[in-house]
A and B are shown apart, each in its own frame.
Chain A
Amino acid sequence: SQQGEEDPQALSIQEGENATMNCSYKTSINNLQWYRQNSGRGLVHLILIRSNEREKHSGRLRVTLDTSKKSSSLLITASRAADTASYFCATVPHYGQNFVFGPGTRLSVLP
């Protein structure tokens, strides 16, 4: 069964606005990671948040994790056209198990 589900599936915003994407998962996790993929390219790791952390920042990225609700959010502030990409959350359920990716959110930032 799919571990992570991103919401919304697609998001379109104007440059300068904030973009928020959500990820829900089903089982307990060790950590949750967010990745970005430009069209037709490989995925690039953005940020990792551990199960004992609630919030993490990296530049214009802010990630929150609520283990009681089994959900995470990725906030991109002051978006730019170059942020246009698909964003995936990946969870690591248990020791020795591998990453499970959600279907992704396609973000379009309009200039």
Chain B
Amino acid sequence: ETGVTQTPRHLVMGMTNKKSLKCEQHLGHNAMYWYKQSAKKPLELMFVYSLEERVENNSVPSRFSPECPNSSHLFLHLHTLQPEDSALYLCASSQEVGGWGTGELFFGEGSRLTVL
């Protein structure tokens, strides 16, 4: 257990569906992240939140909509996805945003998304 819990672990959705991924961290961290991991590609940073405020959005299509209601919870709302969006979506947290100092990332187990 890393202290970061993601649900659901697996999700299959059609291109017209709307679904959400949930992440919860029990570590008291101030920063939370969404990463996308596709086959044969490096981890892609999607969004970064620091104390519930979005501080980074790496040119992610608008069909991905993040929400951070408090510093312990992070959501990724999905709508009108494409088959190429199929991937493992990883949530992570760290004490402070970025890795300066002693920062390390704590990852959840990921949500495997398949878009049909």
Are A and B a genuine interacting pair, yes or no? yes
Q: Which residues of A contact B99 (CB under 8 A)?
A: 30-31, 33, 90, 92, 97-99
Q: Which residue of A lies closest to B99 (CB)?
A: A92
Chain A interfacial positions (CB closer than 8 Å to B)? 2, 30-31, 33, 35, 40-45, 48, 88, 90, 92, 95-104
Q: Could you count the A-B residue pairs with CB atoms below 8 Å apart for me: how many are there? A: 68
Q: Smallest CB–CB gap between A64 and chain B, Å?
A: 19
Interface check B68, CB cutoff 8 A: no
B45 touches A42 (CB 8 A): no
B90 touches A98 (CB 8 A): no
A41 touches B110 (CB 8 A): yes
A101 touches B42 (CB 8 A): yes
A100 vs B13: C-alpha distance in the bound complex, in angstroms?
29
A44 touches B33 (CB 8 A): no
* Residues of B16-59 whose CB lies within 8 A of A: 33, 40-43, 45, 48, 56
Contact of A40 among B4, B88, B92 (CB under 8 A): B88
Q: Smallest CB–CB gap between A107 and chain B, Å?
A: 16
A45 vs B107: C-alpha distance in the bound complex, in angstroms?
9
Q: Which residues of B contact A102 (CB under 8 A)?
A: 42
Enumerate the 7 nearest inter-chain pairs by beta-carbon distance, A residue then B residue, closest first.
A92-B99, A42-B107, A101-B43, A45-B104, A43-B107, A103-B42, A42-B109
B100 touches A43 (CB 8 A): no
Q: Smallest CB–CB gap between B57 and chain A, Å?
A: 12
Q: Which residue of B lies closest to A45 (CB)?
A: B104
Q: Smallest CB–CB gap between B35 and chain A, Å?
A: 8
Interface check B64, CB cutoff 8 A: no
